[in-house]
Chains A and B, each alone.
Chain A
């Protein structure tokens, strides 16, 4: 069983759609990260959060510690949002990564 589960694995959306990617974890954490990996391979850290909600531009990340669940939302999606989104959790000396959600936004 994976400590971090993401859904969906693959997602195709029309430009402008509201997108939600989910992450559930089974371990206690000190922080949860959302990463974005572009088709070229580069990784960008989008958010690090341990409670509540964070917003950056069209991206919103929420976390519910009691339910061990986080969501990444993209409003008004755009083709340049096409990437793999990875959820990662850290606790103490351990880091666990989800397998990623591959998002394709069609013009």
Chain B
């Protein structure tokens, strides 16, 4: 099993540019989560999907952020336009059972985003 695969591992972009982060969950997992980690705010849940459907996006900081999951094997997190304060590590995680009753999460390696 290749685990949760995120790409790119590192992204440096200029302020105002569009950024797209990608995630491939573990095959068979039906829940997918996007997290952001910064020194100031720690780890924050941005949005999660269950069976490809967004369940709660209340963690998404503002309208510049959007996430999609067109199928069970792929999700994107897009920032348009990007700003320096979006610089963070973005993690994707998948889980085989929503609700957390006994199953653990598998995290991707993260995408380190730097907006200059």
Contact = CB atoms under 8 A, between A and B. Distances in A.
A43 interface: yes
B42 A50 contact: no
Per DSSP, chain A at the interface is strand
Interface string B84-98: 000001010100000
B44 A97 contact: yes
A64 B7 CA distance: 39
A90 B104 contact: no
Contacts of A42: 107, 109-110
A2 to B, nearest CB: 9
A30 to B, nearest CB: 6
Contacts of B105: 33, 45, 48
A97 B42 CA distance: 8
A86 B43 contact: yes
Nearest to A97: B43
Contact of B107 (A30, A43, A100): A43
Nearest to A44: B107
Contacts of A33: 100, 104-105
A107 B38 CA distance: 30
A30 B99 contact: yes
Give the one of A44, A86, A90, A97 with max B CB within 10 A: A97
- How large, as a class, is the contact surface on chain A? 20 to 34
A41 to B, nearest CB: 6
B110 A43 contact: yes
Contacts of B102: 48, 50
A42 B106 CA distance: 11
Interface of B: 42-45, 55-56, 58-59, 89, 91, 93, 99-107, 109-110, 112
Closest 8 CB pairs of A and B: A31-B100, A43-B107, A45-B104, A93-B56, A45-B105, A95-B45, A97-B43, A48-B104
